[in-house]
Structure 1
Amino acid sequence: MIDQHLQQMLLTNKQKFMIPASLVATVNVTNSLDHAFLVLTKDRYAKIVVIDNDNRYRGLISLAMITDRLLDTRRIAVNRLQQFVVGDVMQTDAPTITDPFDVEENLHLLIDQSFLTVVDDKQHFRGIVTRRELLKAVNYTVHNFDHFYQIQDK
């Protein structure tokens, strides 16, 4: 469990923790792989959120997932980009969260993920929490803790 004083400092700028869905690049589960490839390449993201027509979270997709589907025995079959849709290759087992401000859970999950998808109780996509933003909070806390609290040895 995180100490309450550390938790309080980590949450100092909690409004920056979650990037709202309206600002996050997404693709639809029914989009072709060439569309997803273009979005990933143009926006320079490693991985993006996949949603359905009702704005429900369905998974994640990356360039590596697309490339893996296009691999032939000796080459990459680029002509296959239009033969598949995002739903054919996306990752569906990535963790999601409902509380963007649960610092302890988010820290634990962000060890292996660059961002966490935030959903509501009906799986509607609400935004993402990035490792970068949480690390900014950690950085602020470790550099300013002694300005707010006096530390005594036990």
Structure 2
Amino acid sequence: MINKVIDHMMIENRQHFMIPGDVVASVSEDNSLRHAFLVLTKIRYAKIPVLDRDDHLKGLLSLPMITNTMLGLDDLSVAPLDQLCVKDVMETDVVTIQNPYDVENVLHLLVDNPFLPVVAGDGTFTGIVTRREVMKGINYIGHNLDKQYLVTLKPEEP
């Protein structure tokens, strides 16, 4: 279990961890792979959310998922970029969280994920919590813990 003081300070800053969905780059599940390829190339993110027409999270998409469709045995072909849609290659087994989220759970999940999609109860995409933003929160604690709390060293036990 996470230390109560650290949990309290993290919860105080929880709203700063989430990047709102309307400013997160995403693609539609019905977009062509060509469109998604261009989006991923221009924004330089490793993965982006895939949404349906009603802004429900459907999966995640990365550049390697797209380029794998272009690789043949002896050649590289761009034809699949126009023949396939995002939903044909996206990752659908996605770990998500709901807001308000449990900070300790987020810390565990961010060990293996650079970001976590945040969804409403009906699956609507509302944003992402990134490892980077949480690390900023930990940095804040490291610099401000002794400004808010009396921190003393416990005596060693014999």
Task: Give the 5 Å matches for 1:122-141.
Answer: 122-141=122-141
C-alpha displacement at 1:101, in angstroms?
4.0
Please tell me whether the aligned partners of residues 117 and 128 of structure 1 are also in contact (alpha carbons under 8 angstroms). Answer: yes
- In the TM superposition, what whole-angstrom CA distance separates every residue of 1:110-144 from its partner, at most 9, and x where no partner exists? 11111100001110111110110001101111232
Give the root-mean-square deviation of aligned CA atoms: 1.3
Cα 1:152–1:138, aligned 2, differ >3 Å: closer, same or farther?
same
Large movers: runs of 4+ above 3 Å: none
TM-score (norm: length of structure 2): 0.91
Segments of 5+ residues of structure 2 without an aligned counterpart are none
Tell me the alpha carbon deviations over residues 45-91 of structure 1, each in whole angstroms, 9 at most, x when there is no partner: 11100000111100000001101121111222112210100000000
1:102 maps to which residue? 102
**3-state secondary structure, aligned to 1:11:** helix
Residue identity (%): 51
Distance across 1 between alignment mates of 2:16 and 2:130: 10
Which residue matches 2:26? Answer: 26
> 2: CA distance between counterparts of 1:140 and 1:96?
25
Deviation string, structure 1 residues 14-33 (Cα, Å, up to 9, x no partner) = 22111111111110101000
List runs of 5+ in structure 1 lacking aligned partners: none
**Which residue matches 1:35?**
35
- Following TM superposition, by how much is the alpha carbon of 1:148 offset from its aligned partner in structure 2, in angstroms? 2.2
Letter in 1 for 2:3: D
Q: Number of residue pairs matched?
A: 154
Normalising by structure 1, we get a TM-score of 0.94
Mean Cα deviation higher: 54-63 or 7-16: 7-16
